[in-house]
């Protein structure tokens, strides 16, 4: 493969170049200087997302700005400021790559809304080589332009990183308005960038702990609407819901098993808080922990065979792990810092996001192999981390003097951004799984 600069080349020329390139690789070069590169920089990749054609200035959904926002939020890309764009090409043929090289962009996305808004075409190029990396027409067919834009972000992100984009996913969270005793609780589902919030449950009594089913169709959550805690599972499409646990005492912290058939929950029916697993089809309840201490906030490992949870059995909150096959074998996982709680497994199961106390309550990532704990945020009151389904970003709730709001941090800690909260106090975000392809 030879990568030379230039604009689009005819196929034959490309083939010739390819053949020449192969020959060159096959025959080792003669006199040459050898360099070993062992380090790189950790910067975000500069990318230009040019305003799409066929859209009026100030259109209600500016596709390019949604795509640029998505890419920025991923922490891996640094979109070029629009005011720095000298030209505004809307198709590959109009791109003068030298201009964009001078602007130090590595990639460029151009596109336009076609055929009276029935489709959006876009192209992705490598600015350095002039190579076209993607060219697609996305039919709008019933979707909002915002959804189309998120889809384009997904495709661009996946092509450039090799990681599936999570921009078409959703987040669920609890919003609280008003002051006690007159408070209004809402369970809200919004786009992953915080747009399009939709209330799916409302109550004057506390709602908490939303958890997505693995198919993204349902949410489990805790409601105090009957003045006692109970766990509900609600289908989002129909609003139909089922009360799955209303046992004496506390019913809390539901988390779906990876196969969606069971819920890990926290109950106090036997005197103190312990972890149980509830089979959603048979209603069978299995006790997992029975320590005198408080055990709560269970999280499933992706294999569905292990639970991670918070316990104060050592005198302060730490994360433990228990195998469902042998519940007598409980292992302590965290040792750094005097407080580690609310574990969540990364989608690949290799890391644990948690809340740790280190000058403040901060979100940290623990590598399960090396046991290294890495600080991701430096807030005073950060809580409830939840992974995007691609593991690249973590959403969490943060409270710093003002009311709680949502924020995101890339799982390498490089990029952080606060989402504007619609209203009230926002907490306990949960990131949805991928939508079906």
Partner 1 sequence: MTGFAREHLRPLMGSAGLHLLLIALIGSAALRWTTAQPPVQLAIEGVVVDARDLPKSVRSGKALRVPRPDPVKEARPPPAPVPDKEARESAEQEKARKDAVAAERRKQDQIEAQQKKRAADEAHRKAEAEQKKAAGEQARQQKDAQAKAAQDAKAKAALEADLKRRLAAEEEEGAAVAQSGVKDEYRALLVQAIERNWIRPPSARAGLACTLYVNQATGGTVIDVKLGPCNGDEAVRESIVNAVYRASPLPAPGDPRAFERRLEIVFKPTE
75-134 positions binding partner 1, by CB under 8 A: 76, 101, 104, 106, 126, 128-129
Q: Tell whether residue 280 is a contact of partner 1 (CB under 8 A).
A: no
- Please name every residue paired with 242 in a beta bridge, in sequence order, or none if there are none: 233
Residue the block writes with tokens 């403040």 = 360
Q: Residue 369, interface with partner 1 (CB under 8 A)?
A: no
**Does position 182 bind partner 1 by CB under 8 A?**
no
In order of 181, 279, 319, 375, 412, the CA distances from 352 in angstroms are 36, 25, 10, 12, 13
Contacts of 83 (CB under 8 A, 6+ apart): none
Residue 357 touching partner 1 (CB under 8 A): yes
- Long-range contacts made by residues 199-208, C-beta under 8 angstroms, separation at least 24? 200/172, 200/234, 200/236, 200/239, 201/232, 201/234, 201/241, 207/174, 208/174, 208/252, 208/428
* Shortest separation between residue 185's beta carbon and partner 1, angstroms: 8
Q: Does 415 bind partner 1 (CB under 8 A)?
A: no
**What secondary structure letter does DSSP report for 93?**
G
Is there binding between residue 11 and partner 1 (CB under 8 A)?
no
What is the smallest separation between the CB atom of 302 and partner 1, expressed in angstroms? Answer: 19
Q: Applying CB under 8 A, does 300 fall inside the site for partner 1?
A: no
Q: How many CB atoms lie within 10 A of CB 258?
A: 17
Pairing of strands 45-49, 360-367: unpaired
Selected binder of partner 1 within 134, 140, 184, 339 (CB under 8 A): 339
Distance of alpha carbon 317 from alpha carbon 300, whole angstroms: 18
C-alpha to C-alpha distances, 30 to 76, 108, 229, nearest whole angstrom: 38, 36, 76
Count of residues that interact with partner 1, criterion CB under 8 A = 83
Decide whether 50 or 253 has the Cβ nearer to partner 1.
Answer: 253
Q: From the CB of 262, what's the least distance to partner 1, in Å?
A: 19
29 binds partner 1 (CB under 8 A): yes
Q: CA-CA distance, 81 to 49, in Å (whole number)?
A: 9
**Of 15 and 248, CB closest to partner 1:** 248
Q: Does 423 bind partner 1 (CB under 8 A)?
A: no
Choice from 10, 11, 12, 34 touching partner 1 (CB under 8 A) = 34
Residues 6+ apart with CB under 8 A from 106: 45, 46, 47, 126, 127, 128
| Binding flag, residue 203, partner 1 (CB under 8 A) | no
Q: Do strands 241-245 and 230-235 pair parallel, antiparallel, or not at all (unpaired)? A: antiparallel
Selected binder of partner 1 within 140, 381, 415, 434 (CB under 8 A)? 381
How many residues comprise the chain? 437
Determine the Cα–Cα distance for residues 331 and 253; give it in Å rounded to an integer: 21
The footprint of partner 1 on residues 154-173 (CB under 8 A) is 159-162
Rank residues 52 and 309 by Cβ distance to partner 1 and give the closer one. Answer: 309
Q: What is the CA radius of gyration of the chain?
A: 25
- To which residue do tokens 């949870």 refer? 309
Nearer to partner 1, 87 or 316 (CB): 316
- Of 62, 193, 274, 297, the one binding partner 1 by CB under 8 A: 297
Alpha-carbon distance 265 to 296, whole Å?
8
Tokens of 88: 């505004």
Binding residue for partner 1, selected from 184, 203, 224, 260, defined by CB under 8 A: 224
Question: Binding of partner 1 at residue 143 (CB under 8 A)?
Answer: no
The residue among 51 and 210 lying less far from partner 1, judged by its C-beta, is 210
Q: What are phi and psi of 236, to 5 degrees?
A: -70, -40
Q: Which of 19, 284, 314, 350 binds partner 1 (CB under 8 A)?
A: 314
5 binds partner 1 (CB under 8 A): yes
H helix or E strand, kind and range, residue 155 = helix 145-161
Using an 8 Å Cβ cutoff, are 120 and 136 in contact?
no
In the complex, least distance from residue 265 CB atom to partner 1, rounded to whole angstroms: 10
Task: Single out the segment in contact with partner 1 by CB under 8 A; choices: 19-27, 237-245, 274-282, 299-307.
Answer: 19-27
- By C-beta, is 31 or 325 nearer to partner 1? 31
CB contact burial 37-53 (16+ within 10 A = b; e otherwise): eeeeeeebebbbbbbbb
Q: Which of 12, 32, 325, 437 binds partner 1 (CB under 8 A)?
A: 32
Q: Least distance from C-beta 399 to partner 1, angstroms?
A: 9
Q: Which of residues 233-272 bind partner 1 (CB under 8 A)?
A: 248-253, 266, 268, 271-272
Span near partner 1 by CB under 8 A; candidates 60-68, 86-94, 276-284, 338-346:
338-346
């Amino acid at each position: 493969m030879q990568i030379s600069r230039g604009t689009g080349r005819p196929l034959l020329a490309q083939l010739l170049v390819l053949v020449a390139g192969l020959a060159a690789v096959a025959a080792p070069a003669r006199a040459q200087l050898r360099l070993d590169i062992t380090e790189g920089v950790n910067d975000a990749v500069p990318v230009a997302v040019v305003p799409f054609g066929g859209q009026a200035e100030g259109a209600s959904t500016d596709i390019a700005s949604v795509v640029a926002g998505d890419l920025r939020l991923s922490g891996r890309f640094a979109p070029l400021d629009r005011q720095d764009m000298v030209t505004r090409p809307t198709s590959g043929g109009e791109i003068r790559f030298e201009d964009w090289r001078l602007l130090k962009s590595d990639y460029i996305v151009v596109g336009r809304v076609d055929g009276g808004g029935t489709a959006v075409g876009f192209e992705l190029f490598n600015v350095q080589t002039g190579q076209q990396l993607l060219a697609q027409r996305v039919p709008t067919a019933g979707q909002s332009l915002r959804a189309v834009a998120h889809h384009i972000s997904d495709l661009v992100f996946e092509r450039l990183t090799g990681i599936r984009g999570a921009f078409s996913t959703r987040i669920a969270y609890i919003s609280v308005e008003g002051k006690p005793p007159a408070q209004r609780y809402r369970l809200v589902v919004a786009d992953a960038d915080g747009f399009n919030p939709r209330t799916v449950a409302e109550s004057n009594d506390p709602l908490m702990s939303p958890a997505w089913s693995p198919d993204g169709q349902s949410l489990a959550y805790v409601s105090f609407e009957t003045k006692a805690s109970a766990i509900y599972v609600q289908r989002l499409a129909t609003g139909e819901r089922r009360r799955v646990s209303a046992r004496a005492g506390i019913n809390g912290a539901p988390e779906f098993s990876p196969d969606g058939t069971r819920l890990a929950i926290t109950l106090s029916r036997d005197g103190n808080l312990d972890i149980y697993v509830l089979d959603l089809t048979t209603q069978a309840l299995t006790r997992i922990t029975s320590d005198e201490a408080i055990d709560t906030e269970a999280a499933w490992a992706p294999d569905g065979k292990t639970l991670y949870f918070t316990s104060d059995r050592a005198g302060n909150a730490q994360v433990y792990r228990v195998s469902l096959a042998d519940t007598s074998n409980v292992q302590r996982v965290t040792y750094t810092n005097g407080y580690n709680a609310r574990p969540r497994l990364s989608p690949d199961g290799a890391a644990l996001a948690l809340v740790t106390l280190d000058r403040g309550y901060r979100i940290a990532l623990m590598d399960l192999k090396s046991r290294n704990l890495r600080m991701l945020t430096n807030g005073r009151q950060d809580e409830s981390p939840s992974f995007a389904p691609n593991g690249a970003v973590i959403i969490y709730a943060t409270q710093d003097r003002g009311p709680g709001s949502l924020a995101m941090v890339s799982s390498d800690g490089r990029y952080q951004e606060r989402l504007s909260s619609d209203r009230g106090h926002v907490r306990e975000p949960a990131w949805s799984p991928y939508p079906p392809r």
